[in-house]
Chain A
Amino acid sequence: MQDILIAILAIIVGPLATFGFYILLNWLVNLFPEKVGRSLRPYVFIGPVLLLVGGMLVYPTVQTVTFAFMNADSTAWVGFNNFTRLFKDPNFLSTLFNNFLWVAVVPITTVVFGIAIATLTDRLGAIRERVFKSIIFMPMAISFVAASSIWRLNYQWDSGDTQIGMLNAIVKAFGGTPVAWMQAETFSLNSLLIMVVVIWGNAGFAMTLLSAAIKAVPEETVEAGAIDGANAWQSFFRIVLPQIRVTAVSVFITVLISTMKIFDVIWGMTGGNFHTNVLGVDFFLEYFVYNDTGKASAVVVLLMIAIIPIMIYQIRTYRKQEELR
C-alpha cells in the first residue's frame, strides 16, 4: 500500500518539482543583467543534465578506472596487479573468449535475420505483414529475466525417461539422446544456445528499423534494375541492400554495444557457470560475490577499452551527419 502511495506521489510531485526547479533557475538567471543572463540562459536548459551525467556517469567512470589499479577494498595502490591476476586466470581467458564469441555471433546474426524478416514481410499483404511483425517484435517487451525462465524450460534436461524440455523432447522424437544443454561446453554449445535467446529478443528491434529503411527505398530504383534484367537476388543485393546499409550499420552497432555488456540472460540461464561467463557477469561476481572492487573494476576497464573505438565511431558519424544538415 505504501508503495502505491509513493508511486502516486512521485508521479505528481516529481514532474512538478522538476519543472519548478527549472522555473527557479530561469528566475535566477533573469536577476542578472541582460548581457550576463544571455550567456547563462542555455545552462538553465542544459545545466541540470550536464550535472546529472557528469556526476552519475563521467565522474564514477573515471573513479572506476582508478579503482582498477587499487586493492580489493580500494585502500592501496597495486599497479597492474589486478590485470595480471585476471590474465593469469584460465577461467578469465575463457570469459574473454566467450565475449568475443558473443560479439562475433549475435550482432551480425540479428541484423541478417532482421533484414530477412523485413524483406519477407514487406512482400506480403498489409494484414499479414502487421501480424507477423507484431509477433516477431513481441519478445522486446519481455524482460530478459522472464525470457531466461521461458528458455530454461525449453532447454530443460531430465534424468528420467520423459523430457519436459521442448528441445530434448524433439531430440528424443528423432531417436537421439537427450542432452543437458546448459552444461554442454563442447564448441561452446551452451553459449550458442543462450545467444538464441538474445537473438529471439532483439530480432524484432532490428526488423523494425530495417523494415522502415526498406520501405524508404525508392520504387523506381528497383524497377530500373528490373528493366536492366536484374533477377530477384540481384535486385536485393545490388539495389536494395546498398540503400539500407546506413540503417543496417546503426542497428549492428546498437546490438553490438548491448551484446558487449550482456548480463541478465547469462545470469538467468547459467549464472556464468559451465564456461558461459562473460565480462558483464564476471564484474557482478567479482564485486558482489568476491567483494573485490579492484578486480571488478579491472574487468570493467577491459570492457571500456573494447567500447572506446565504438564511442569514437559514434561521435565521428554524428559530426558527419551535422555537416550534411
Chain B
Amino acid sequence: MSQQTSALQRFKNFKPGSTLVMLIVVLVWLMPTIGLLVTAFRTQSDSVHTGWWTGVLDPFHQHWTLSAFEGVFSSTWNLGPAFFATVAIAVPATILPITFAAFAAYGFTFLEFKGREVWFSMIIGLMVVPLQAAIVAILQMFVALDKWLMTIPGNEYGDFHLSGEYPAGWIVHSAFAMPLAVYILRNYMMTLPHALIEAARIDGASHFQIFWRLIIPMSVPALASFAIFQFLWVWNDYFIAFMFVGNHTVMTYQILSMLGQHGEGWQIVMAGCLISVLVPLTVFFSLQRYFVRGLTAGSVK
C-alpha cells in the first residue's frame, strides 16, 4: 500500500516548494497595497523625489507625516462629505434590493404559478445585460419624470426632483443588482426543507407569515453574503454615482480628481485611496467567512 500511494504522498508532501511559490505570489500581490499604505504617510518632497520602497528599506530616515490626510480632508478635496455621500448611497442601495429580492425569491421558490419558469429565465438572462445598455434611456426617463414633477403646484422650480439625487442612485443600483440577488437567494431557498413550509401551511400560516417567520431567519447566511457583496460593489462604484447622483460627490469621484493632479505628489491620491478602502476592507475581513460562503453558493456578476 505505502509503495503504491507514494505518488500521492509525494504530491501531498511537496510542501516547501508550494510554500515558497505562494510566498512569492503573495509578496507580489501585496506590493501595490504596501505602496499605497507607505505613500499616504510620506511628505510631498519625499514622494516626488524617491520611490515609495525607500520608505520600507530605510524607514528611519524618512519624514513621516499625516499632512496628506490633512490635505484630503481640507476644503480643497472635501473627502469628509464625500465619505458620507458614499455611505448615503451604499447603505440603502444594499438594504433595498435585498428586501425586494427576498420577496421575489420566495415567490419563485415556494409558490406555484403559471409562467414561473418564463419569468425566472428572463431574470437569469438579465443578469448579463451590461449597465451601459440601459443608462441613456434611464437618464432620459428621470429627466422626463422631473419635468412632470415641476407641474405639481409648489414645485415650479423643480426643488423636488430625482436626477442627481441619492434615490436615483438607490433605484438604479437596486435594479441592476436585482437579477443576481433573486438568483442567489432563490438558489439558497431551494435548499431549505420544503416539508417544513408544507407543515406551516397545514397549520394555517399565510405565505406572508411563513416568509417573515421561517424563511427570512433561515436565509440569513445567503442574505448576509449578498449584502456584503452588494455593499462592496456600491461602495466601490464610480459609474452609477457619476451618472445618477451628480449632485453629491462620492469618494471614487474625488480620488479620480486627485489622480488628475498626481504631479504634485502621490501622497494625496494615496491618502484618499487609503480612506476609501478602509470601510470595504473592514467589512471584508470581519465578514470574510460569510462572503466566501456566499460566493461559493452562487455565481457572482
Contact = CB atoms under 8 A, between A and B. Distances in A.
Interface size, A (range) = 35 or more
Interface string A306-325: 01001100110011001001
Main secondary structure of the interface of A (DSSP, over half): helix
Contacts of A136: 25-26, 29
Contact of A150 (B33, B112, B124, B179): B33
B209 to A, nearest CB: 10
Contacts of A250: 299
A26 B48 CA distance: 63
A153 B266 contact: yes
B259 A149 contact: yes
Interface residues of B, number: 121
A299 B133 CA distance: 9
Nearest to A122: B18
Interface in B23-62: 25-26, 29-33, 35-36, 39, 47-53
B7 A169 contact: no
B232 A140 contact: yes
Chain B facing A: main interface SS? helix
Nearest to A280: B132
Contact of A261 (B130, B236, B296): B130
Contact of B252 (A6, A143, A310, A322): A143
Contacts, number: 344
A41 B14 CA distance: 59
A55 B137 CA distance: 10
Nearest to A22: B103
Interface of B: 4-5, 7-8, 10-12, 14-15, 18-19, 21-22, 25-26, 29-33, 35-36, 39, 47-53, 81, 84-85, 87-88, 91-92, 95-96, 99-101, 103-104, 106-108, 111-114, 116-117, 119-138, 140-141, 166, 170-172, 174-176, 178-179, 182, 190, 207-208, 211, 232, 235-239, 248, 252, 255-256, 258-259, 262, 266, 269-270, 272-273, 276-277, 280-281, 283-285, 288, 292, 295-296, 299-301
Interface of A: 3-4, 6-7, 10-11, 14-15, 18-19, 22-23, 26, 39, 41-46, 48-50, 52-53, 55-61, 63-64, 67, 117, 120-121, 123-124, 128, 132, 134-154, 162-166, 169, 200, 205, 208-209, 212, 222-223, 225-227, 229-232, 235, 250-251, 253-254, 257-258, 260-261, 263-264, 267-268, 279-280, 283-284, 287, 293, 296-297, 299-300, 303-304, 307, 310-311, 314-315, 318-319, 322, 325
**A-B CB proximity, top 10 nearest:** A45-B107, A143-B236, A56-B175, A60-B137, A226-B8, A63-B137, A60-B134, A3-B84, A49-B104, A141-B284
25 contacts: A10-B91, A15-B95, A22-B103, A39-B113, A42-B107, A42-B112, A48-B104, A49-B100, A49-B101, A53-B179, A55-B175, A60-B138, A123-B12, A142-B33, A145-B238, A145-B276, A146-B36, A150-B35, A152-B262, A164-B49, A235-B11, A260-B130, A296-B136, A300-B130, A315-B125
